[in-house]
Amino acid sequence: MTIACLGIGVGGSASVAIGDAFLITNGPICVTPSWIKVEHIEDEVRRFETALQLAAAQLRGVREQIPGDTPSDIAEFIDTHLLMLEDKALSSQPITLIRSEGLSAEWALQQHRDALIHVFEKMEDTYLRTRCDDLDHVVKRIMSILLEQHDTHFEELRGHIVLAEDLTPADVILMKNQGIAGFVTDYGGPMSHTAILARSLGIPAVIGTRGATTCLQHGERLVLDASSGVVLADCDNDMLAHFAKRRGADIARTVELRRRGVEPAVTRDGETIHLMANIELSEDVSTALVNGAQGVGLYRTEFLYMNRVGPPSEEEHFAAYRAVVEGMQGRPITIRTLDLGADKQPGSRTHSGASGNPALGLRAIRLCLKEPELFMPQIRAILRASALGPVSIMLPMLTSTWEVEQTEHIIHQAMAQLEAEGFDFDRAIPIGGMIEVPAAALNARAFAERLDFLSIGTNDLIQYTLAIDRVDEELNYLYDPVHPAVLRLIREVIGAAAAADVPVSMCGEMAGEVRFIPLLVAMGLRELSMQPAAILDVREQIRHLDAARLARTVDRLFESFEPIDPLALFDELPPIH
């Protein structure tokens, strides 16, 4: 009898994986209380410090292997762990315990870990409680080095489907390099760091099964169907052959789509949909071009500020932007100003009054306007890059037109400085804004009248509208991109842009999900920006659509205030797989 586990499917173009299960136990490392002789105390301190250094070296090695088209959240996740390793709050107390009480390095670390976890668990704030998981990941990495258990199991993973309670992004990168066929986890959500990375790396995965590690066995042959979120065990030969054929068809289809990737995305009734890429590094440009991106709709610039002592100089900004502008060979580039703040401070800089909830704290345009000395070098560099090709400026997390006015004032100051210094730049550079806060969506007409373009950032818009943390697996069931309230806000923004005759695009994860494309086209969006890996499938879906017919159908979505499945309105569309 076939055994099935259900979860959330994520991954790349090949949605099916077949392989033997490899069970990884993620339980706590058992540490036996132990003490050391006085004459060995300093040796034990050095052993602990060496373990810290090796753990940091491992994480830096993982960070260097992150693909260029991976969202910034992944690198930031690993940077957070690196910062924890460097924080005296983690390292100093175990050393004190070794010296004052003669504890072994392992036992001292375990004692300190338990004390910190107790503090985290008492916190009421959900975000701060999740830092408990980060602490555990870091402690386990140090502990496995002290116990000489680190990473040896990864060498046996080629061709296997990994089963685990949960996986960190660092784990996934290491396993990808070992050639895993796919992975299954008990926990996790569709917007978790691990899920985002699986999509970027093209690894078939099913997450959040809530029990795969208990009902599936190490070594048994599994079929993983990421398109439906199903994991099957004990399949007969006919079923295995069926899924093997599906996997082969997926791979062949991807090859074919890449072959014709430069063809435009035009609906059957002649509507052109512009497909742009979301990027973070200059290395992302080649992937965007291979997949046929018509430009960059969102250039995230936070990577320049991360994992360093101080903020980047104007010249560092300019060098990065120049590489992207030149690499895109005349295609338009939209550069988002830095979206830092609260939990993502540049380098070692930390606000003493940082918000307990960073999503609602001093971040993005709020931080830039509060500290123009941080903002001005970036604005100057963007303006200088605009002399090399078509560049636009996009402002994140707008809530008030006052923020637009203040930013324009800073931009005009920068223009005056550059002109006096003899630099070339585009004096009519377009300035746009991300609409990702409900207040901005409801007041979109005011923004459309002040800005040259709007871009809908659905990742934050959804979480702010529905009052949920989008990476909190306990709230996965509430993260609904097609919730009636979310769709009404999106429609409000599209209508405001049309009334003001300014372009509007979407640059959130929603724009790169094939199942939502008919809905977005029906609502009137004609520019979508997404991770480069999603462009091929989205383009293919668009070629099957009749935009005019979809537009006549979409009004039915807003006849009810109850959630409905928008795909039900478009069920006559041919499948893309």
Model pLDDT for residues 431-454, shown as the tens digit of each residue: 999 999 999 999 999 999 999 999
Q: What is the CATH number of the domain that holds 96?
A: 1.10.274.10
16 and 53 inside one domain: no
Three-state DSSP class for 496? helix
- CA within 13 Å, CB half, 241: 3
Tokens (6 digits) for 420 = 């006096």
Confidence at residue 161, expressed as pLDDT on a 0 to 100 scale: 94
Task: Judge whether 193 counts as a catalytic residue.
Answer: yes
R_g of the chain computed on alpha carbons: 25
State the Cα–Cα distance between residues 473 and 166, nearest whole angstrom.
11
Its domain, for residue 367, covers: 268-425+504-555
Beta strands across the sheet bearing 16-24? 3-6, 230-233, 221-225, 16-24, 161-164, 182-185, 205-207, 8-10
Is 436 part of a structural domain of the chain? Answer: no
Check whether residue 282 and residue 344 sit in a common domain. yes
Measure the CA–CA gap between 330 and 559, rounded to whole angstroms: 44
**Among residues 113, 146, 179, which one ends one of the domains?**
146
Q: Do 381 and 408 belong to one domain?
A: yes
Summarised one tens digit per residue, pLDDT across range 160-182 is 999 998 887 777 877 877 889 99
Q: Quick one: pLDDT band at residue 575, thresholds 50, 70, 90? A: very low
Q: Residues of the chain with pLDDT > 70: what percent?
A: 82
Percent of the chain with pLDDT over 90: 49
Which pLDDT belongs to residue 233?
Answer: 92
Instruction: Report whether pLDDT(346) > 50.
Output: no
pLDDT of residue 242: 93
What does residue 427 show for φ and ψ, rounded to 5 degrees? -70, -15
State whether 400 and 549 are in the same domain: yes
pLDDT score of 26: 61
Q: Is the pLDDT of residue 256 over 70?
A: yes
The residue out of 146, 176, 193 marking a domain boundary is: 146
CATH number of the domain that residue 176 is part of? 3.50.30.10
- pLDDT at residue 564, rounded to an integer: 62
The residue among 548, 545, 556, 558 whose CA lies nearest residue 524 is 548
Taking the whole predicted model, whether its pTM rises above 0.85 is answered as: no
Segment 560-566 shows an average pLDDT of 65
- Is 211 inside a domain boundary? yes
Residues 306 and 345 in one domain: yes
* Same-domain check for residues 277 and 359: yes
Residue 125: per-residue pLDDT: 47
Q: Which of 5, 235, 368, 507 does the annotation list as catalytic?
A: 507
Question: Is the domain of 344 the same as that of 204?
Answer: no
More reliable by pLDDT, 2 or 113? 113
Residues 6+ apart with CB under 8 A from 209: 5, 6, 7, 184, 185, 186, 231
Candidate list 160, 193, 274, 317, residue with the active-site label: 193
Does 458 reside within a domain? no
Question: Which pair of structure tokens corresponds to residue 297?
Answer: 């709709």
The CATH number of the domain where 409 resides is what? 3.20.20.60
362 and 275 in one domain? Answer: yes
Is the residue at 359 inside a domain?
yes
Among 112, 146, 180, identify where a domain stops: 146
User: Looking at per-residue confidence, does 7 or 297 come out higher?
Assistant: 297
Task: Give the mean model confidence (pLDDT) for residues 279-293.
Answer: 84
pLDDT computed for residue 347 by the predictor: 44
Would you say residue 3 has pLDDT above 70?
A: no
Q: By three-state DSSP, how is residue 344 classified?
A: strand
Span 448-479, pLDDT tens digits: 999 999 999 998 999 999 998 766 667 777 88
Residue 8 lies in a domain: yes
Instruction: Answer whether 566's CB lies under 8 Å from 576's CB.
Output: no
Residue 457, in any domain of the structure = no
Per-residue model confidence (pLDDT) at position 473: 64
Distances (CA, A) of 166 to 156, 171, 213, 222, 472: 19, 10, 10, 18, 14
- What pLDDT is recorded for position 574? 46
Query: pLDDT tens digits, residue range 207-217?
Result: 888 888 888 88
State the residue for tokens 């069920």: 571
- Which of the two residues, 119 and 153, has the higher pLDDT score? 119
pLDDT tens, residue by residue, 82-91: 888 888 878 8
Q: How many angstroms from the chain centroid is the CA of residue 192?
A: 8
Are 515 and 468 spatial neighbours (Cβ–Cβ below 8 Å)? no
Residues 140 and 170 in one domain: no
Which of 56-70, 113-127, 420-434 is modeled with the greatest confidence?
420-434
Same domain, 417 and 300: yes
Q: Are 132 and 179 part of one and the same domain? A: no
In a 10 Å sphere around its CB, with 0-12 CB exposed, 13-18 middle and 19+ buried, how is residue 87 labelled?
A: exposed
Domain membership flag for residue 430: no
- Does residue 188 fall inside a structural domain? yes
Whether residues 275 and 400 fall in one domain: yes
CB within 8 Å of 92: residues ≥ 6 apart: none
Count the domains in the chain: 3
Q: What is the pLDDT of residue 351?
A: 44
Mean pLDDT, the chain, whole residue set: 84
Residue 30, pLDDT score: 67
